[in-house]
Amino acid sequence: LADRGYDADWFRNALLERGITPCIPSRKTRKVAVAYDKDLYKQRHKIYNMFGRITDWRRIAMRYDRCAHTFFSAICIAAVVIFYLN
């Protein structure tokens, strides 16, 4: 899932080479529109909302944890708290 800013042929081809089906709407300047799953694209806002809520936690936004496993643990704790508060 990506917005129109990532609509480029080289980017789409790189995703397809890795076996990923892109869900990116075509730019308005593209002469031939590329098909995409509109129902799946409508759910993109949920991902952006979650990243917005996680970055409210200063520890995660500023990346205070040096180790990857500690940083991942902080993200998991934040996600659980956000899930239960909503």
Check residue 60 and give its pLDDT: 87
Query: Is the model's pLDDT at 86 over the cut of 80?
Result: no
Nearby residues of 7 by Cβ (< 8 Å), 6 or more positions away = 24, 25, 26, 27, 30, 34
Q: What is the pTM of this model?
A: 0.62
What share of the chain has pLDDT > 70, as a percent?
100
